[in-house]
Amino acid sequence: MATLEHTIASHASDVNWVAFSSTVLASCSGDKTVRLWEVGTWAELPCSPLLGHSYPVHCCCFSSFGTQLATCSTDGTINLWGSKSGQRLTTLAHPRNNGMRTVSFSPDSNVLVAGSVDGTLVLWDAYTKEMLSVIEAHDTSICACAFTPDGNFLLSGSMEGNMKLWDGRYGNNKCLYYLAEGHDLGVTCCVFSPTFGSANPDNPVPETQPRMQYFMLASCGADMLVKLWDVHVSPGYDMRLRVNLQGHSATVNACAFSPDGKRLASGSVDRAAIVWNPLTGEKLYMLTGHPRCVTTVAFSLDGMYLATGCMDRTVRIWRLVDGPAVIPVQEGASKTESQTEMLVDVQDAATPIKAQQTTEAAQPKRKPLSDWSVEEVCSWLREKGLEHHVETFRENEIDGNELKQLTNETLSKDLGIAALGQRNKILRGIKALQESESSSTSGQAQANLAALASALPPQLMQNLPALVSTFAPSLMANMAQSAGPTVTASKGATPQASSDDKVPDEYLCPISREIMVDPVIASDGYTYERKSIESWLQKGKMTSPMTNALLPNMNLTPNRMLKMLIQRHFGSQ
């Protein structure tokens, strides 16, 4: 049961993270501040707010005894604060001055780790403040990292959707285990259960595997799922999916275990937080009333309260002991899907999550991919759970023919789909469509040939192989001729206009004055050839080539519409 006890509304921007010690609740925000509140009364401490970051503060966490608070920011620094005095104890800087998205103490508070936007994990000695290691962990921003309860291992998750296991004591660059697709559309948060498996020394060890060590991990992502994993660290390294917890209807931003490990909370862009039983997969209750996205969740150390942070600049405190349930979950409302045999926590003697047997309905026969309209492509995206890309595909008029031509490069540069897992999901779907179509066409052709053969006289059947080899080439040539001429161009080739053709000036790059092949819009609002503007920026020029004003940022956005106009212009020549 849960009731809303208090709402904190002191931040001037989105609340990005909340964290509890035994006596203090900390919240950090896009307003560059960290605020401290007394647990129980929810009064702001005299030393609050904590000022010291020059850009938004993304994450905060307490040391195991609650004496220190670590905060990380886009400004590329971690500040360590005294949790009661509010005094800044020290500042740790990223070696490349890159922004940091997540920060965490090891369970014994000896090591501090931060995940950065450049894909690195940086480890410091929390006492001497010496940098222990810089791990080149991922190719994209690290949004999640967590220590195993014994502190020996560290798991990280990236915007690409993959997760990796590392040495948590010494932080060497050797990846112990790599999971390519933890979450299709990117990992947003991960946390280990404090009591499950080897985290609880009282749990019996299986006699058949006396050296077995494993922990339960919860992760969430942009695929709208909370996932529970068995992470094995001895003998050998492995990650096995226990269950998909389905209940959110948008990106899940955060997840957190209660101190006793018997509850798991998640917060989502769908403006709700859900409390689950992680041992059974049961949805206990849903916390609503947030007018905007829920960005973060955290349990108090006594398990009595749950704090949720929101993009409406507030922190809501929910009491989990007294009062009626906010939204009682009806029987069957919790939807789970198991993919592997699971370990059962003997200590809790909970009912294990059972695998669901699903039967896929027969798929209706589709018309050829080349005949798909833009709306049929959009319907296919929804079937694949990619409805958030529907508007992009519709705006760029991606029909069946365009869909067949999509590549990893065009998805990334032209359509702006940054997450590798997301692009892979689209490309796998296209490949499956083409294979299905090819198989169907081949089967129909074989059936037609069989019907033709059965109708032929025996004498003609003897000469059938010779007839096919004689007439097939000419038939293919006639088919190609009837289809009309095709225009092909080598990849990356610049379109060429005839000598008497006047090229519209908007098709020319302002820097190189050549016809653009890969037009992109810079932050000054002008369109350039990608190679030309990237070369400009790499030379250290941070001003607009057109206005000479300082560029607000280095972002480059594909100008898909102009690219299509250029291709059509020269394709009609």
pLDDT in tens, 502-542: 577 778 888 888 899 999 888 877 889 999 998 888 888 88
pLDDT at 7: 95
Exposed e or buried b per residue across 206-231, where buried means at least 16 C-beta atoms within 10 angstroms of its C-beta: eeeeeebbbbbbbbbbbbbbbbbbbb
Nearest to 377 by CA among 369, 563, 388: 369
pLDDT at 573: 56
How long a stretch of residues is the chain?
A: 573
- Token duo for residue 304: 């009595």
Rounded to 5 degrees, φ, ψ at 508 are -100, 140
Domain parsing of the chain, residue ranges: 3-201+209-337, 364-442, 505-571
Strand order in the sheet with 33-38: 15-20, 24-29, 33-38, 50-51
- What pLDDT band is residue 353 in, cutting at 50, 70 and 90? very low
- Token duo for residue 110: 């000896």
Please check whether residue 319 is in contact with residue 277, taking contact to mean a CB–CB distance below 8 angstroms: no
Q: What percent of the chain has pLDDT over 70?
A: 77
The helix (H) or strand (E) run that includes residue 441 is helix 420-455
pLDDT in tens, 371-397: 888 888 898 888 877 888 888 888 888
pTM: 0.61
pLDDT in tens, 96-128: 988 999 999 999 999 999 999 889 999 999 999
Written as one string, the DSSP assignment of 85-131 is T--EEEEEE-TT---EEEEEE-TTSSEEEEEETTSEEEEEETTT--E
pLDDT at 67: 93
CA–CA separation, 323 vs 329, rounded Å?
16
Residue 516: other Cβ atoms inside 10 A: 24
Question: What integer is the mean pLDDT of 31-58?
Answer: 95
Beta partners for 50? 34
Question: What integer is the mean pLDDT of 208-213?
Answer: 70
Please check whether residue 186 is in contact with residue 161, taking contact to mean a CB–CB distance below 8 angstroms: yes
pLDDT at 363: 42
Beta partners for 29? 15
- Token duo for residue 239: 């990650």
Please check whether residue 273 is in contact with residue 266, taking contact to mean a CB–CB distance below 8 angstroms: yes
- DSSP letter assigned to residue 13: S
The fold for domain 364-442 equals DNA polymerase; domain 1 (1.10.150)
Residue of higher predicted confidence among 4 and 433: 4
- DSSP letter assigned to residue 304: S
Is the pLDDT at 83 greater than 70? The verdict is yes
CA–CA separation, 121 vs 84, rounded Å?
28
CA–CA separation, 342 vs 12, rounded Å?
45
Selection from 240-254, 318-332, 437-451 with the highest mean pLDDT: 240-254
Selection from 8-12, 493-497, 553-557 with the highest mean pLDDT: 8-12
- What pLDDT band is residue 435 in, cutting at 50, 70 and 90? confident
Sign, CA dihedral 247-252-254-255, equals: positive
CATH of segment(s) 3-201+209-337:
2.130.10.10
Q: Is 178 helix (H, G, I), strand (E, B) or coil?
A: strand
pLDDT in tens, 224-252: 999 999 999 988 899 999 999 999 998 99
Cα distances (Å, whole numbers) of residue 528 to 493, 512, 513, 523, 567: 16, 9, 10, 11, 16
CA–CA separation, 296 vs 313, rounded Å?
12
pLDDT in tens, 397-425: 898 888 888 988 888 888 888 776 678 78
- Token duo for residue 488: 């092909």
pLDDT at 405: 86
CATH of segment(s) 505-571:
3.30.40.10
Please check whether residue 304 is in contact with residue 320, taking contact to mean a CB–CB distance below 8 angstroms: yes
pLDDT at 220: 96
Is the pLDDT at 451 greater than 70? The verdict is no
